[in-house]
């Protein structure tokens, strides 16, 4: 356990460095947004493009892995939405909470953790997990939020202006660089092309900044001030439990007993599912002006506890 903890310690040290820099005032409030934008729009797309441009289709197309990881995310998301709806929460808020429980931080933490734990062979399935997270689960959440907001508007006697639900979700996806970049990169091997050496060097340099900058950006986000008493401790405990225990347990069961995955794919699927909640749900809550205090608490607590849960799982591998 201790040796495994030492392996993942640099990752959490980068998160802590971002947190400390924000709390000490070395980096201001705008740094969170700007560094996050750098990762989302430049560094991480370059990494995803480079990975998919270098692999063969057979390395990406792993139906068993897609099933184990994707179904575990969607199942935890669906169960959470149903539980929150049964508790009297609006559909739009329940959808955000579904993301809190079923949206692992594959983009910011997945790549560095997988690389340290399993080596370069884990990058291709990690890319698949990131795509499933940022487009599959995210798209479902957007659709439910839009439906919920329209219901709330009708209930209040006013029509909610805007585009149709399917168009809102589709537009959000095609504008997402984390979806567009690997799709474009996949066209390279399909077309039988190879990247020029200068382009490859550019992608390696820019993509190499993705992991450290993403982790520092996560630390900056976690250092943001939170309103005392607004976190809903019981709800936060439920969502963190589903995220750190429920989803990886389900991914393991699906991967081993239903899809019979080989060891590497099984461990990567479980590792991705075991990651803490990403910042995507918070961004979505802020964009739609929903209550974001619970989301920020879940991100913070799940990230801290994942030091133990992720290390504990890797110690058993």
The CATH number for 301's domain is: 1.20.1530.20
pTM over 0.85: no
Residue 305 domain-assigned (yes or no): yes
Instruction: Report whether pLDDT(2) > 60.
Output: no
Query: Residue 293's Cα: distance from chain center in Å?
Result: 18
Instruction: Report whether pLDDT(173) > 70.
Output: no
pLDDT in tens, 25-70: 898 888 888 888 888 888 888 888 888 888 777 777 889 999 999 9
pLDDT in tens, 235-246: 899 999 999 999
Q: Say how far apart CA 229 and CA 284 lie, in whole Å.
A: 22
Residue 247 domain-assigned (yes or no): yes
User: What pLDDT is attached to residue 143?
Assistant: 82
Q: Say how far apart CA 277 and CA 283 lie, in whole Å.
A: 12
User: Where in 18-87 does DSSP place strands (E)?
Assistant: none
- 3-state SS, 36-49, equals HHHHHHHHHHHHHH
User: What pLDDT is attached to residue 276?
Assistant: 92
Residue 28 domain-assigned (yes or no): yes
The tally of domains found in the chain comes to 1
Residue 58 domain-assigned (yes or no): yes
User: What pLDDT is attached to residue 278?
Assistant: 85
Per-residue confidence at 227, pLDDT binned at 50, 70, 90? low
pLDDT higher for 139 or 227? 139
pLDDT in tens, 246-302: 999 999 999 999 999 999 999 999 999 999 998 778 777 767 777 677 888 888 889
Residues 274/309, Cβ–Cβ less than 8 Å: yes
| Secondary element (H or E) of residue 305 | helix 293-316
pLDDT higher for 39 or 173? 39
In eight-state DSSP terms, residue 160 is P
Residue 123 domain-assigned (yes or no): yes
Residue 317 domain-assigned (yes or no): no
pLDDT in tens, 73-132: 999 999 999 999 998 888 888 999 999 999 998 877 888 889 888 988 998 899 899 888
| Among 246, 250, 218, 291, CA closest to 20 | 218
Q: Say how far apart CA 260 and CA 175 lie, in whole Å.
A: 35
Q: Backbone phi, then psi, for 163, in 5-degree steps?
A: -85, 165
List all residues 6 or more positions away from 240 whose beta carbon is below 8 Å from its beta carbon: 277, 298, 301, 302, 305
Per-residue confidence at 203, pLDDT binned at 50, 70, 90? very high
User: What pLDDT is attached to residue 84?
Assistant: 92
Instruction: Report whether pLDDT(202) > 70.
Output: yes
Domain that holds residue 65: 2-224+232-312
């Amino acid at each position: 356990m201790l040796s495994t903890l030492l392996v993942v310690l640099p990752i959490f040290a980068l998160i802590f460095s971002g947190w400390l820099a924000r709390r000490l005032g070395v980096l201001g409030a705008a740094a969170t947004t700007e560094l996050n934008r750098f990762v989302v729009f430049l560094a991480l797309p370059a990494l995803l493009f480079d990975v998919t441009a270098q692999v063969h289709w057979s390395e990406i197309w792993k139906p068993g892995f897609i099933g184990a990881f994707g179904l575990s995310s969607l199942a935890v998301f669906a169960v959470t939405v149903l539980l929150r709806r049964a508790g009297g929460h609006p559909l739009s808020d329940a959808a955000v909470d579904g993301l809190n429980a079923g949206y692992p931080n594959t983009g910011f933490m997945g790549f560095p953790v997988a690389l340290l734990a399993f080596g370069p062979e884990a990058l291709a399935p990690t890319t698949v997990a990131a795509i499933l997270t940022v487009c599959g689960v995210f798209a479902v959440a957007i659709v439910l939020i839009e439906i919920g907001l329209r219901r709330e508007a009708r209930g209040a006697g006013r029509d909610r202006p805007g585009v149709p639900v399917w168009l809102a979700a589709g537009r959000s996806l095609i504008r997402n660089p984390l979806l567009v970049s690997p799709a474009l990169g996949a066209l390279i091997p399909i077309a039988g092309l190879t990247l020029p050496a200068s382009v490859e060097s550019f992608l390696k340099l820019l993509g190499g900044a993705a992991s450290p900058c993403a982790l520092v950006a996560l630390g900056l986000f976690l250092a943001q001030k939170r309103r005392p008493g607004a976190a809903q401790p019981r709800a936060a405990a439920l969502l963190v439990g589903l995220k750190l225990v429920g989803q990886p347990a389900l991914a393991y069961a699906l991967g081993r007993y239903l899809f019979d995955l080989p060891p590497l794919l099984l461990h990567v699927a479980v590792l991705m599912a075991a990651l803490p909640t990403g910042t995507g749900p918070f961004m979505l809550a802020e964009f739609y002006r929903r209550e974001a205090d619970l989301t920020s608490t879940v991100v913070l607590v799940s990230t801290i506890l994942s030091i133990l849960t992720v290390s504990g799982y890797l110690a058993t591998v």
